[in-house]
Amino acid sequence: MSVEILKQGAEGRLYLGDFKGEPCLIKERFVKKYRHPELDTQITRQRMKAEAKASGRCLAAGILAPKILHSDLNTHKLYMEYFDKAKTAKQLIQEIVASQAEEQAKKSLLEFCTRIGGIIGKMHSNHIIHGDLTTSNILIDPKGGDYDIVLIDFGLSHYNQATEDKGVDLYVLERALISTHSEQPFLFENILAEYRRTCGKDEQAVLSKFEEVRARGRKRTMIG
């Protein structure tokens, strides 16, 4: 089986390869030399299992995520569905801003953010915590004249009803948008508006926790 490295980071590398003759994405986690070998194996396996479970839960809830084709706990590799024509939400936002007139760009971005907010609300209403909810972990998969939104990279995900964890998810997304798209401050506001309509009965509790997390984040920034 031939492989092509697409991305390499601190946690692992992504390959383009194949599984049973079909193109797929292979995610391989690195061995962490600074951890005790048994502990490292345990943590790695837990995160691989969590990623596979979160992806399956999303799909069961009608939220698009990569299908896990195979999990090899011994070699620390996940084989998953590959979206070959997809781009990240970060890339799409940048392209819309660069290629469209201001009013049209804002209209396109508002529609886009509404869809994202609905998906995140649905994810949280099913108590799925992403753990690293950034615009780099939201894929846009073109479908004719439209597109699908696919959530990816569930390596830090877990299942939890806690409103704190949902608030942290929202805060991470807000910080990602501020850091890369600061000239479009309305993006997160629009995502949050739709989120409130779809996140379920815990809406007020989640948003209260989000405000607490945001306040703590601002305090850390001020203190340094």
Q: What is the DSSP letter of 3?
A: -
Active-site residue identified among 18, 40, 132, 202 = 132
Is residue 40 annotated as a catalytic residue, yes or no?
A: no
Give the amino acid at 192: L
Distance of alpha carbon 76 from alpha carbon 13, whole angstroms: 11
Neighbouring C-beta atoms of residue 55, cutoff 10 Å: 25
Distance of alpha carbon 100 from alpha carbon 103, whole angstroms: 8
Strand 4-8 versus strand 22-29 pairing type = unpaired
φ, ψ for residue 144, nearest 5 deg: 65, -125
Active site residues: 132
